Amino acid sequence: MNTPDLAAIRAQFPILSEKIYGKDLVYLDNGASAQKPRAVIDAMVHAMEHQYANIHRGLHWMSERTTDVYEQTRDLAAGLMNAASREEIIFVRNSTEAINLVAHSFGRHLLKPGQAVLISEMEHHSNIVPWQMLRDACGIELRVAPITDDGELDFPAFEALLADGKVGLVAITHMSNVLGTYLPAERVIQTAHAAGALVLLDGSQAIVHRAVDVQTLGCDFYAWTGHKLYGPTGIGVLWGRKALLEAMPPFLGGGDMISSVTFAHSEWARVPHKFEAGTPAILEGIGLGAAIKFVQNLGYDAIAAHEAALTEYGLAHIGEIPGLTIWGHAKDRGGVISFTMDGAHPHDIATLLDRQGIAVRAGHHCAEPLMRRLGLNATARASFAAYTTYGEIDALVAGLRRVREFLA
Amino acid sequence: MNAVESLYQSVILKHSRAPRFRVELGQGAAACHCRNPLCGDDVTVQWRAGPAGAIAEIGFTAEGCAILIASSDLMAESVLGLDRDRALKKARAFRAMLDDGPEIAEPTLASFAALRDYPARKRCATLPWQALESLMSGDMKCQS
């Protein structure tokens, strides 16, 4: 993206012109949640002002039109991921709910005691805790594939953990929210399948930055969340292969997920509705549709190229600051840069940067086991988006130098 | 320089870089451990009473940010020699100050009021005081 393009993109995000302590907002916490473009805001406001009712069951104009717009998002999501059919798109609240759905409906019912779930050392808590709960409830073993010091999946160890054929599911991040590492996903999937395991990819970070084609990847489940993809909170997607989804029992019970109910017995609706109990996040679903169109209009090629250049620039300039250590040196990495500074706790770094209008994340990033693997309690993290500028990275570098003068 | 930078420069750096009271008192000292699970800050405060019951010795061990270390050190400095009641009152006044209560009289402690604007960081400053409050009140449940 050249400079005029970037200015046009930024102009679509009203929040980016806010001032923090009288300074321009430098928002580098996109890995936690991205800001929202005008199109998303307008789509949600338009629905509330002009076209809103409950969906899927109303027999009136408002309900039918609202259903249409909401269901268009399912088509858009299917298109975004190149799903084989729109029925493979299940709306959930977020990636955490998507993974819990799989842990419950697939893990508890289609995995057998004695089988194992294999995760990695660089998972977010959302891809650890549901499997621990499954382990404790159902006697499923939980295995953890190590990473190398560079922050890549230790592939020989990963293969060794699959070797006994007991792993029924590999649940693994497509892109680390701490190290920025991209998983060699196709190789992981092929290796897992050859060992008889299915694969769930946690795409919370990955789908924001690069095109995801679930058919080319060959995975079995793919989870992601709307609010990191410039959409609203409270809406996410679980994609799953239709045959698998059909074999899985529902997650939550209630309205919308049934075809008939008597006191003696209920029949389930067909996928995807079998997994969508209760009134869904209608407005958020409509907002997510606008977010997907926004991303498609920009194009993943342009987003990926811009962010790759930013990341290279960021790694070079942040890495030059004396006493600063960058964590994660995978060959294939995205725009998430975690760092520590000698003599400065990450929380102090974040507080002092905040006063300069610069928003970064500091803490364990919901990845405590990874922090332990790195021998750390916390890192600071700058994470980029399609609207991030080189000037913002310069501001971060200047801000970090100022922090260093103060603390180190 | 803004209020938070001033706080760091005037108080926090001195006490976090060379904390005089970051010592273990060893066996026999009463101890209270507090942890903030949200950020991993972790502090243990220990003390021993003198013949009249006042704080004759106090020390802390901690893992966390500069605010936690500095606040722990300043706390120890400011309560050394106080009796339980006065130390308890001071602990409550410090915690109340960060919950938008009145600033306390000692200027170095009062400067921590700059953290009122930082809900996520207030706990870094109050964690050692919470441990002290537990020790002084005898209620050893350190809520974290």
For residue A388, the domain's CATH number is 3.90.1150.10
Nearest chain B CA: its distance from A131 CA (Å): 21
Measured between beta carbons, the chain A residues lying within 8 angstroms of B13 are 406-407
Nearest chain A CA: its distance from B99 CA (Å): 19
Enter the tokens of residue A356: 């300069």
pLDDT tens string, chain A, 408 residues long: the values are: 666 699 999 999 999 999 999 999 999 999 999 999 999 999 999 999 999 999 988 789 999 999 999 999 999 999 999 999 999 999 999 999 999 999 999 999 999 999 999 999 999 999 999 999 999 999 999 999 999 999 999 999 999 999 999 999 999 999 999 999 999 999 999 999 999 999 999 999 999 999 999 999 999 999 999 999 999 999 999 999 999 999 999 999 998 898 999 999 999 999 999 999 999 999 999 999 999 999 999 999 999 999 999 999 999 999 999 999 999 999 999 999 999 999 899 999 999 999 999 999 999 899 999 999 999 989 999 999 999 999 999 999 999 999 998 886
CATH number at B115 reads: 3.90.1010.10
B128 touches chain A (CB under 8 A): no
Nearest chain B CA: its distance from A345 CA (Å): 5
A377 touches chain B (CB under 8 A): yes
Handedness of CA A126, A129, A131, A134 (dihedral sign): negative
Bond into A272 cis (ω within 30) = yes
Q: How far is residue A37 from each of residues A48, A123, A383, B132, measured CA to CA in Å? A: 17, 29, 18, 48
**DSSP state at residue B114:** G
Test A355 with B65 for CB contact under 8 angstroms: no
Between A346-354 and B119-137, two packed helices, what is the crossing angle to 10 degrees?
130
Label residue A260 exposed, middle or buried (CB < 10 Å: 0-12, 13-18, 19+). Answer: exposed
C-alpha count within 13 angstroms, C-beta hemisphere, residue A335: 28
Asked if A369 and A259 sit in the same domain, the reply is no
Backbone angles phi, psi at A25, to 5 degrees: -65, 125
Asked if A221 and A131 sit in the same domain, the reply is yes
Q: What is the largest CA-CA distance in chain B?
A: 46
As a whole number of angstroms, the distance between CA A150 and CA A374 comes to: 10
Of A345, A377, A378, the CB nearest to B66: A345
As a whole number of angstroms, the distance between CA A172 and CA A170 comes to: 6
In this structure, are residues A217 and A185 in contact, taking their beta carbons and an 8 Å threshold? yes
Q: Is A366 a catalytic residue?
A: yes
Residue A2's pLDDT is 64
As a whole number of angstroms, the distance between CA A17 and CA B1 comes to: 23
Between A300-319 and A390-407, two packed helices, what is the crossing angle to 10 degrees?
30
Of B13, B63, B67, the CB nearest to A377: B63
Asked if A67 and A12 sit in the same domain, the reply is no
* Tokens 């929380």, residue located: A347
As a whole number of angstroms, the distance between CA A364 and CA A378 comes to: 5
As a whole number of angstroms, the distance between CA A200 and CA A174 comes to: 9
As a whole number of angstroms, the distance between CA A66 and CA A267 comes to: 26
Within 65-104 of B, beta carbons closer than 8 Å to A belong to 65-67
B4 touches chain A (CB under 8 A): yes
Asked if A230 and A324 sit in the same domain, the reply is no
Q: Is residue A15 included in any domain, yes or no? A: yes
Q: Is residue A38 included in any domain, yes or no? A: no
Size of the A and B interface in Cβ pairs below 8 Å: 44
Q: Is residue B33 included in any domain, yes or no? A: yes
Of the residues A250, A269, A297, the one at which a domain ends = A297
Test A351 with B5 for CB contact under 8 angstroms: no
As a whole number of angstroms, the distance between CA B39 and CA A335 comes to: 24
Measured between beta carbons, the chain B residues lying within 8 angstroms of A378 are 39-40
A355 touches chain B (CB under 8 A): yes
In this structure, are residues A248 and A108 in contact, taking their beta carbons and an 8 Å threshold? no
Residue B143's pLDDT is 46
Asked if A243 and A290 sit in the same domain, the reply is yes
Q: Name the active-site residue from A110, A157, A244, A366.
A: A366
Test A407 with B67 for CB contact under 8 angstroms: no
Asked if A16 and A54 sit in the same domain, the reply is no
Q: Is residue B143 included in any domain, yes or no? A: no
Asked if A85 and A191 sit in the same domain, the reply is yes
Enter the tokens of residue A49: 């002002």
In this structure, are residues B41 and B124 in contact, taking their beta carbons and an 8 Å threshold? yes
Residue A358's pLDDT is 97
Q: Is residue B69 included in any domain, yes or no? A: yes
CATH number at A170 reads: 3.40.640.10
Of B39, B67, B118, the CB nearest to A363: B39
Asked if A283 and A306 sit in the same domain, the reply is no
Q: Is residue A126 included in any domain, yes or no? A: yes
For chain B, percent helix, then strand, then coil, each to nearest 5?
50, 15, 30
Q: Is residue A37 included in any domain, yes or no? A: no
Test B65 with A377 for CB contact under 8 angstroms: no
Beta bridge partners of A29: A383
Q: Is residue B142 included in any domain, yes or no? A: no
Per the structure, the count of domains in chain A is 2
* B15-52 per-position pLDDT tens digit: 998 999 999 998 889 999 998 877 778 999 999 999 99
Asked if A311 and A326 sit in the same domain, the reply is yes
User: Which SS3 state, helix, strand or coil, does residue A59 take?
Assistant: coil
B40 touches chain A (CB under 8 A): yes
Residue A129's CB is within 10 A of a number of other CB atoms, namely 16
Per the structure, the count of domains in chain B is 1
Q: Is residue A305 included in any domain, yes or no? A: yes
Q: Where in the sequence is the domain holding A123, given as residue range(s)?
A: 43-297
Test A364 with B118 for CB contact under 8 angstroms: no
Asked if A155 and A121 sit in the same domain, the reply is yes
Asked if A265 and A379 sit in the same domain, the reply is no
Nearest chain A CA: its distance from B5 CA (Å): 7
Q: Where in the sequence is the domain holding B17, given as residue range(s)?
A: 3-137
pLDDT tens string, chain B, 144 residues long: the values are: 777 888 888 888 889 989 999 999 988 899 999 988 777 789 999 999 999 999 999 999 999 999 999 999 999 999 999 999 999 999 999 999 999 899 998 989 999 998 988 888 899 999 999 999 999 998 766 544
Residue B26's pLDDT is 86
Nearest chain A CA: its distance from B39 CA (Å): 6
